[in-house]
Structure 1
Amino acid sequence: MPKQILKAHKIRLYPTDEQQIFFAKSFGCARFIWNKMLGDKIDHYKTTKTTLNNTPAQYKKEFEWLKEVDSLALANVQQNLRAAYSKFFKQGAGFPKFKKKGIKDSYTTNNQKGSVAVTKNTVKLPKIGHIKVKIHQSVNGLIKSATISRTPSGKYYVSLLIETIVNELPKTHSNIGIDLGLTDFIVLSDGSKVANPKFLSKLQAKLAREQKILAKRRAAAKADQRKLSESRNYQKQRIKVAKVYEQITNSRKDFLHKLSFNLIKNHDVIAIEDLNIKGMVKNRKLAKAISDSSWSAFT
């Protein structure tokens, strides 16, 4: 039976130098608004013991350069901050944190009357127009929003949230239980096992080597009294380290996606043991192995 779902579709972007400048401004403005609104909320509560209902619009009067980016990007920051506060008060999540430059640079915009669209070799975004892409899979459905991001190694992506219709998988009349492990990634109740790929362990030597070189580049820049942002050798090596991390992350995501899809396709009911993963990670002897296994991402 067909059903309506929201599906994410991630596409690599190839922006021009001018478009990269616009993205950098947008990431910076989104981060600024988050930090400014969060800081003002904290200060207001300390003084009055009441909640401050601030909005991005009020800051545009003082900081006019905020008008240079997509207004919906700033509006989404407000919604995300509101959601973070809600999770803190209602779900026991951690208190919202200030954002640092270069860590998860991104912003989200919404599709309004075709302002976000996909063609054969471009993606159209508000206030910037068409950006070159390489489409490997067709994008079918109604685009609701687009999140643009930049990885630490300098790659750009857009994640489209799409409302689409899919057919439900046929019933298999099969139930399965799953135990998580470190030697084996999972052990199924039918006796079968899936080996732990240990992506971090496989690339640990390469990562350590690149990080050692990065430390030398940092020390050299410090000795020359240069900012790290101005040291070409440091920045080149930083990207090399980032690429190793991305290789580990992408390998994990691909493994988990294929494994979870296979389990869902072949079983109607899946039961998995309930582990206190956050508590277990506090054990220094287990932390690295558990993090490498990515139990949290799987469950």
Structure 2
Amino acid sequence: MLLGFKTELHPTNQQKTLLAKHAGVARHAWNWGLWLTKNILKHNSSNPDSQLFFPTAIDLHKLLVAMVKPLNSWYYEVSKTAPQYALRHLSLAWKRCFTKVSGQPRFKKKGRDDSFTLDGSISVGFNRIKLPRIGWVKTFEILPDNVTPKSVTISRKADRWFISFKMEKETQITDFSVDVVGVDLGIKSLATLSTGKVFPGGKSYRKLEAKLSRLQYLNRHQVKFSNNWKKAQLKIARLHTKVADIRKDTLQKLTTYLAKNHGIIVIEDLNVSGMMSNHKLAKAVADMGFYEFRRQLQYKCQLYGSKLIVVDRWFPSSKTCSRCGQIKESLSLSERVFNCEHCNFSCDRDLNAALNLAMAGSESYAPLTRTPVTACGLDNADVAR
């Protein structure tokens, strides 16, 4: 299967300038193409009798070569593939918009999400990679052997440059210690497994929120675009990157552990966008990264040979008793312990939900004869503890 590989570059000062030029050309081509396509859409909507026409990525590149490149000589200082891929990505963004997968593409701003894509004569060495028009660039870690990527994507976060490309990797079948496991995601703890294990979330934003707020407050008094303002902006960008890296590292370790050691993983189809609309929960939900958890788990299950089952979001995992199957009418978020009035069963709320998810995903699951404890290797005494 194809997997993405991403690592940090270690460029020289001259190479940093070239990388910034490539990112600038790609951004300029994107913004120019977006401006042109928006004008075409506006013209088509105001003239319904006229023949509808929307340019493809090839049409946009032909117009770019004829109209933009002669007026901007700095286009010739970088690889020609940087603006080409920018227009391809713009065309793909419009297709996603027309199919109502995402909203309209937006104009890009310098210093925010700078990236570009290159192809051509690319060679991979031990700890360096050769890029068109840039040359050999060192990396901070050893690169995979026997890999010749057709294209690479280079991006910048704060003052650090990263490179990513696709490579083929064989499926790694491992011996699973647990056949079926239910995973209940939450805000108090990131994940509670039906085996009884609890994984706390990184909560990186919550830990660094005060420091970030302090830096943003001090930045208010700087003169915009001055040297001190740029230094403050760089400190804020570095702190944002640190928050994202801590969150990503926590999710990578958790999803790898689940995919390697469990044959069937059962999770809920959470309505993350609906949870984000609640202003009381939005910050905590975003700090956990539920969508990223599911995205990583999907491809890692394919890599390690495990199976991922996504249960419907209306499945009452928290309100259902994992012993007798009785469903409560209401259960508030403040109730952290599940108490069943029918069979006097009591256990942690998240653990009870994880047990129900494990039953829903097991092949021996039967709604009328609920025996969840044997599927997860727990007995009633273990659950009670």
Structure with the bigger RCO (C-alpha within 8 Å, sep 6+) is 1
Name 1:225's counterpart in structure 2: none
Query: Of the candidates 99, 123, 137, which is equivalent to residue 108 of structure 2?
Result: 99
Considering only CA atoms, is the larger Rg found in Structure 1 or Structure 2?
A: 2
CA contact (8 A) 1:45 1:52 kept: no
Change in Cα spacing, 1:69 to 1:57, as seen in structure 2 (3 Å) is farther
Q: CA RMSD in A?
A: 1.9
Query: Of the candidates 151, 158, 162, which is equivalent to residue 157 of structure 1?
Result: 162
Q: Please, what TM-score do these two structures have when normalized by structure 1?
A: 0.87
- What amino acid does structure 1 have at the position aligned with 2:208? L
- Alignment deviations for residues 55-84 of structure 1 (CA, whole Å, 9 cap, x no partner): 223212333332332122222122212221
CA contact (8 A) 1:185 1:196 kept: yes
2:25 paired with 1:29: yes
Equivalent residues, number: 280
Name 1:184's counterpart in structure 2: 189
> Which runs of structure 2 are paired with 1:134-149 in the superposition (5 Å)?
134-136=140-142, 138-149=144-155
Query: Of the candidates 52, 55, 79, which is equivalent to residue 52 of structure 1?
Result: 55
Query: Of the candidates 277, 283, 298, which is equivalent to residue 288 of structure 1?
Result: 283
Change in Cα spacing, 1:214 to 1:298, as seen in structure 2 (3 Å) is same
CA contact (8 A) 1:9 1:139 kept: no
Where do 5+ consecutive residues of structure 2 fail to align? 45-51, 295-385
CA contact (8 A) 2:212 2:236 kept: yes
The alignment-based identity, stated in percent, is: 34
Query: Of the candidates 119, 122, 125, which is equivalent to residue 116 of structure 1?
Result: 122
CA contact (8 A) 1:60 1:67 kept: no
Query: Of the candidates 128, 134, 137, which is equivalent to residue 128 of structure 1?
Result: 134
- What amino acid does structure 2 have at the position aligned with 1:242? A
1:263 positional shift:
0.3
> Which runs of structure 2 are paired with 1:200-211 in the superposition (5 Å)?
200-211=205-216
- Alignment deviations for residues 181-210 of structure 1 (CA, whole Å, 9 cap, x no partner): 000111223332211221111112221222
Give, in whole Å, the separation in 2 of the partners of 1:292 and 1:178: 18
1:213 positional shift:
1.6
Of Structure 1 and Structure 2, which has the larger fraction of its residues in strand?
Answer: 1
2:92 paired with 1:83: yes
Where do 5+ consecutive residues of structure 1 fail to align? 222-227
Name 2:260's counterpart in structure 1: 265
1:258 positional shift:
0.9
CA contact (8 A) 1:177 1:188 kept: yes
Q: Secondary structure at the match of 2:169?
A: strand
1:211 positional shift:
1.7
Give, in whole Å, the separation in 2 of the partners of 1:190 and 1:121: 41
